[in-house]
Structure 1
Amino acid sequence: MPLATPHYLIDENALDRNLAKVDRLRALSGAKCVFALKAFATWSTFAQIAPHMDGSTSSSLNEVKLGREKFGGETHAYSVAWSDDEIDEAIANADKVIFNSISQFERYAAKAAHLPVGIRVNPGISHSHFDLADPARPFSRLGERDPQRIESVMDRASGFMIHCNCENDSFESFSALLDQFEAKLGHFFERLDWVSFGGGLHFTGEGYALEALAARLKAFAERYQLQVYLEPGDAVVTQTTTLEVSVLDIVDNEKQIAIVDSAVEAHMLDLLVYRETAHVEPDAGPHRYVIAGKSCLAGDVFGEFDFPEALKVGDRISLLNAGGYTMVKKNWFNGVNMPAIAIRRKNGDVELVRSFDYADYVASLS
């Protein structure tokens, strides 16, 4: 019997296709890949993902602890700002600690002196389609830009984290950025043990020049005699997960509007944040519908799509690419039922791994 909707459905075979590209990049380049838990933290999948990675990286204490407890490998601890009451626990669970600013470095680095300690550097250039997600936007708080301030910790920092890509699907763009990094920061690179270029490189995408990326990273590592890290998150889980929903009602207001048992703000929040639309397959046919959520938000709309047959109450729709930066942001807006989590195993069987109910809703409040 089909699982009740709504639920997120993760496909193991699709994950394997992406992980094979991660394996190839690691093998050809010598770069290490640590999984970015900020993008995807559904730990039921970690047994499949972790063997293809070198560890995990974080944006908070909770993610550091999850990486240590559930993922294994190297556990990198980064946060935009650590607090006094969490830094000791973060260090205790970490293999590498990265500070966002010189002031945080000066405040806490001595506590982590037994570990490799790094600083986030902002080179002032980036690739991002969205100002909201651009680490090098004006007045950015993400990383240090002043060479003199960076120099002040070079005797204690073993590496840099330079994360300035967002959904960069062009090797040429990344290579051009790296040229500029070397021009600006090459004299620092010569004194480091490692450099992380963060995430945001869409190297698992169709047609990406993966071999060229690998060669560029390998040449960089050999030139400066250091270890390169990447921090893929969304690249690992892209096109692996759908949000399965059912039609509850169809209303007519100049357009046919199908209302489903989900909500954009609750279950695919980034569509609103970045003003994008969802995707369905096949998006073709003579019957056009607006697919809308059941919350009270007027703009609760997933998108407008074409279907081969007329929709009716009870029909199921798969909203694509609902893994990265989606499941980690799900919430209880309007008290709409939280989607369950299911995995389609490699043999085709669908297994329910987590469901949520009224008790979870109550427990999330006070």
Structure 2
Amino acid sequence: MNKTELKTPFFMIDEEKLIANLEKAKLLKELSGVKLVLALKCFSTWGVFDIIQPYLDGTTSSGPYEVKLGYETFGGETHAYSVGYSEDDVKEVAEICDKMIFNSQSQLAAYRHIVDGKAALGLRLNPGVSYAGQDLANPARQFSRLGVQADHIDPAVFDTLDGVMFHMNCENKDVDAFVALLDAISKQFGQYLDKLEWVSLGGGVFFTWPGYEIEKLALALKTFSEKHKVQLYLEPGEAIITKTTDLVVSVVDIVENEVKTAIVDSATEAHRLDTLIYDEPASIAEASENGKHQYVIGSCSCLAGDQFCVTQFEQPLKIGQRLHILDSAGYTMVKLNWFNGLKMPSIYCQRQSGEIEKLNEFGYDDFKRSLSQWRVS
């Protein structure tokens, strides 16, 4: 299978780049003793779990279907967390997870009898401090519903808990900032942590970013673990798949209204939603910082503000030309939708051998079936 023969739009996962990230994860584990569970809310493309599984310890979830997916396709430890479980969710998930983490003391009290004897019990705590670039993604934002606040804790609950989870980072590339957060929760919650078997520090720690001081992070994690005598977990998502995947699109039209817009056969609203939600422009492999030809890279959806970025090129763009939208794995495939009835991108993986493996493709029947089923008379 040749890349040029593939019909756009499609995602292309690069196995070699993925393994490079995983080798950094392996080093962090070896130096610190931390266990790593893949955050399925970020990346659930199970067709490449055969690459990831040897390096990590399991998966963690934010909803019941993710728990089931991790259990069935990844193996290892299966951690279950949800901001709000129903009783049916708890009954189903408790049968297949190793750890069940509740978001509130009220849910813990209501459902722990279902979990006892089946999975380890955990509770999410909100430390009131965090590292996040935008308030939308800040777990410690004002009036946060995520985890139990320190002044709301019933100390007695820790006598019957196995562990706790903190999630307080979002794309944190600053090891010193993370160490400061670690010190803060040790000081604030240390008396409780000392009673536990394990502590999850959540995700958002970008330890695979170029230049990140992994050794410094490892030392801080090891020190924390030994101080409180707990097994530490991190829940990486983006850190595992960053810079591994392109969304490949084609220019289908060029229109001009004071500025030139290259319309591509994809849309942020449907295929790269976080570009729109967080107002973070995409990067294009073919672009040139000093290029003389500027274009808006516009989506083919009908949403007026739906565009990937504004960027420059050395040469004018042409209809039919392919563009590679970089770093398109995290929070993309898990958020794909059928807005405007657009063709959903196929998903491929380029293996180290050079072979291109098709993981999935979608057609009209998938679109139709997602909305209704034929009535049976």
TM-score, normalized by length of structure 2?
Answer: 0.95
1:174 alignment partner in structure 2: 178
1:95 alignment partner in structure 2: 98
- Distance in 2, Cα, partners of 1:348 & 1:307: 29
- Distance in 1, Cα, partners of 2:319 & 2:286: 19
User: Aligned AA for 2:316?
Assistant: A
User: Aligned AA for 1:306?
Assistant: Q
Residue number among 270, 277, 283 corresponding to 2:274 in the alignment: 270
Listed one character per residue, the Cα deviations across residues 64-110 of structure 1 (whole Å, up to 9, x for unaligned) are 00000001000001000110121111100101110000000001112
Residue number among 10, 13, 21 corresponding to 1:10 in the alignment: 13
- Distance in 1, Cα, partners of 2:148 & 2:28: 29
- Distance in 2, Cα, partners of 1:118 & 1:174: 22
User: Aligned AA for 1:113?
Assistant: D
1:38 alignment partner in structure 2: 41
Listed one character per residue, the Cα deviations across residues 303-324 of structure 1 (whole Å, up to 9, x for unaligned) are 0111122111110000011101
The aligned runs of 1:187-198 (5 Å cut-off) are 187-198=191-202
Residue number among 315, 320, 327 corresponding to 1:309 in the alignment: 315
- Distance in 1, Cα, partners of 2:286 & 2:222: 40
Give the ranges of 4+ consecutive aligned residues of structure 1 lying more than 4 Å apart after TM superposition.
none
The aligned runs of 1:273-292 (5 Å cut-off) are 273-284=277-288, 285-292=291-298
Q: Determine if contact 1:280/1:320 at 8 Å carries over to the other structure.
A: yes
User: Aligned AA for 2:224?
Assistant: F
Secondary structure, counterpart of 2:54 in structure 1: helix
Q: Determine if contact 2:127/2:150 at 8 Å carries over to the other structure.
A: no
1:104 alignment partner in structure 2: 107
Does 2:216 correspond to 1:212?
Answer: yes
1:141 alignment partner in structure 2: 145
Listed one character per residue, the Cα deviations across residues 193-250 of structure 1 (whole Å, up to 9, x for unaligned) are 1100000000000011110000100011111111000000111001111100001011
Deviation at 1:292, TM superposition (A): 0.5
- Distance in 2, Cα, partners of 1:139 & 1:230: 25
- Unaligned runs of at least 5 residues, structure 2: 373-377
- Distance in 1, Cα, partners of 2:303 & 2:204: 31
Deviation at 1:282, TM superposition (A): 4.2
1:338 alignment partner in structure 2: 344
Q: Determine if contact 2:34/2:234 at 8 Å carries over to the other structure.
A: yes
2:360 alignment partner in structure 1: 354
Deviation at 1:348, TM superposition (A): 2.0
Q: Determine if contact 1:144/1:150 at 8 Å carries over to the other structure.
A: no
- Distance in 2, Cα, partners of 1:282 & 1:291: 12
In the alignment of these two chains, the number of paired residues is: 366
Q: Determine if contact 1:257/1:290 at 8 Å carries over to the other structure.
A: yes
- Distance in 1, Cα, partners of 2:329 & 2:61: 17
Does 2:255 correspond to 1:251?
Answer: yes
- Distance in 2, Cα, partners of 1:250 & 1:100: 49
- Distance in 2, Cα, partners of 1:191 & 1:86: 28
User: Aligned AA for 1:153?
Assistant: V
Secondary structure, counterpart of 1:337 in structure 2: coil
Q: Determine if contact 2:285/2:323 at 8 Å carries over to the other structure.
A: no
1:50 alignment partner in structure 2: 53
Secondary structure, counterpart of 2:301 in structure 1: coil
- Unaligned runs of at least 5 residues, structure 1: none
Does 2:86 correspond to 1:75?
Answer: no
2:375 alignment partner in structure 1: none
Secondary structure, counterpart of 1:185 in structure 2: helix
Q: Determine if contact 2:286/2:324 at 8 Å carries over to the other structure.
A: no
The aligned runs of 1:288-303 (5 Å cut-off) are 288-303=294-309
The aligned runs of 1:214-233 (5 Å cut-off) are 214-233=218-237
Q: Determine if contact 1:280/1:319 at 8 Å carries over to the other structure.
A: yes
User: Aligned AA for 1:145?
Assistant: Q
Does 2:116 correspond to 1:113?
Answer: yes
- Distance in 2, Cα, partners of 1:155 & 1:109: 14
Listed one character per residue, the Cα deviations across residues 261-297 of structure 1 (whole Å, up to 9, x for unaligned) are 0011000100111011100124312222111111111
Residue number among 323, 331, 355 corresponding to 1:325 in the alignment: 331
User: Aligned AA for 1:353?
Assistant: L
Q: Determine if contact 1:56/1:76 at 8 Å carries over to the other structure.
A: yes
- Distance in 2, Cα, partners of 1:7 & 1:150: 50
- Distance in 2, Cα, partners of 1:148 & 1:328: 34
- Distance in 1, Cα, partners of 2:28 & 2:286: 31
User: Aligned AA for 1:322?
Assistant: S
Secondary structure, counterpart of 2:255 in structure 1: strand
- Distance in 2, Cα, partners of 1:354 & 1:329: 15
TM-score, normalized by length of structure 1?
Answer: 0.98
- Distance in 2, Cα, partners of 1:201 & 1:96: 21
- Distance in 2, Cα, partners of 1:167 & 1:150: 31
Secondary structure, counterpart of 1:360 in structure 2: helix
